[in-house]
Structure 1
Amino acid sequence: MRAHTLTLVALPLLAACTSVPEQPGQCDAAPAQSLLGEPYTEALGAKVQELTGSTILRPVHEGDPVTEDYRLDRVTVVWNDGRKVVKISCG
């Protein structure tokens, strides 16, 4: 009985160790990093969204306030006063 109880407790813990498969729309910022320094335009934003696989694009002027909620499906493109892209990140 004791071994059976231990198994029932251990199985959910082991299942938590498995990797979670990537979901459609989940952002991966790595492919878009080559666009840093480019001038931000709507077309560039669309390209970033396509490269990252995100479903939500959030263009932000450097220093502007943004929400701190984390979204797996959102890419944030930060641009400066010269309209140059300074950061591309997911969340």
Structure 2
Amino acid sequence: MKFLLLSATSTAMTLLASCAPADLPKGGLSVSHPEGDGTCDAEPAQTFIGTRANDALASEILAETGSRTLRWAGPDTALTMDYRTDRVTVSYDEHGKITRIACG
């Protein structure tokens, strides 16, 4: 019985994953930009809110914010609560639209 339940759960997770758009960044993963001075300023990047999240935008957002690290936060993504002054967190919804850009 446990094997059947585990197999059904695994199949369901595979089906759900296949519904997600392939070009969206993976939530929780970070992209590094060593040229940033390390102090995040999210204000200049607010123009990206409402645009589609994708890995190509990561370097643009990092350049605008001056951050060293970008963390993608997809819907229902668990994130650590540690605050880092050199990191920008970019949240997006289930449709891939950026909803929030904040330091930390």
Query: Normalization by structure 1: what TM-score?
Result: 0.72
Alignment of 1:49-88 (within 5 A): 49-88=62-101
Which portions of structure 1, spanning 4 or more consecutive aligned residues, are displaced by more than 6 angstroms?
none
CA RMSD across the alignment:
0.8
CA deviation string 1:13-53 (max 9, x = no partner): xxxxxxxxxxx211000000011000001111221111000
Query: For the residues of structure 2 that align with 1:31 and 1:63, how far apart are their CA atoms?
Result: 26
CA deviation string 1:54-85 (max 9, x = no partner): 00110110331100000000000001111000
Q: Which runs of 5+ in 2 are unaligned?
A: 1-36
Matched pairs, number: 68
Tell me what 1:17 maps to. Answer: none
Query: Normalization by structure 2: what TM-score?
Result: 0.63
| Largest Rg, 1 or 2 | 1
Q: Which runs of 5+ in 1 are unaligned?
A: 1-23
